[in-house]
Amino acid sequence: MTKFIIIAALSMFVSTMFASHSMPSDTTKKITHHPKKKVKKKTVTKNNTQTVSTSTVINTTQNNETNAHQHPNPLPIAPSYKDGQQAMLDFIKANVVVPEEVKKSGITITVNVAFTVGIDGKLKDIKVIKMVGMGCDEEALRVVKFMPEWNPGKVGRVATEMPFAIGIEFKN
């Protein structure tokens, strides 16, 4: 009789355990998995002469995709001129030769030049974004090609090749 009570109590415990692991009705909740556990369940026949043992595996492995401790990708850090923004402006001002046609017209022209700063800081793929004419495009390309190496851009702590653009102003 005591075996029957223990077995009945054990089967009630197991059934409540399965009830607590049932899926929630709200499907928006995050489901996490835990390591596998084996749960043994014993059933008793009416005449109490035969006991059948069954085992159920509860899959509870940790899902790496739902790990809350993952860090997002670090933000990129843009490339920069070695001695700062003002030093770059001073370099451009000291090296740009304003074409005669722009001097005579008295207008101000800005040429936007795009390039890629390599991981070694060297400039490559230098090109004018939109052609302006009057000799300004060629002069802007010449000055940018003449620039010293830059500080490369970074993603996290890793130097990365990144595009960059500057505007070179031509005025009388």
pTM: 0.58
CATH 3.30.2420.10 in the chain: give the residue spans.
Answer: 76-170
Rounded Cα distance between 146 and 156, Å, is: 29
The runs of H, that is alpha helices, within 21-115 are 85-95, 100-105
What are the pLDDT digits (tens) for 45-59? 455 444 444 444 444
- The answer to whether the CB of 140 falls within 8 A of the CB of 149 is no
Given 3.40.50.1360, 3.30.2420.10, 2.60.130.10, 3.40.50.970, which CATH number is that of 76-170? 3.30.2420.10
Helix, strand, coil shares, percent, the chain, to 5:
30, 30, 40
- The answer to whether the CB of 95 falls within 8 A of the CB of 146 is yes
What are the pLDDT digits (tens) for 116-171? 999 999 999 999 999 999 999 999 999 999 999 999 999 999 999 999 999 999 99
Candidates 91, 164, 156, 83; CA nearest to 125 is: 164
Candidates 150, 40, 38; CA nearest to 85 is: 150
HSE-CB of 161 using CA atoms within 13 angstroms: 7
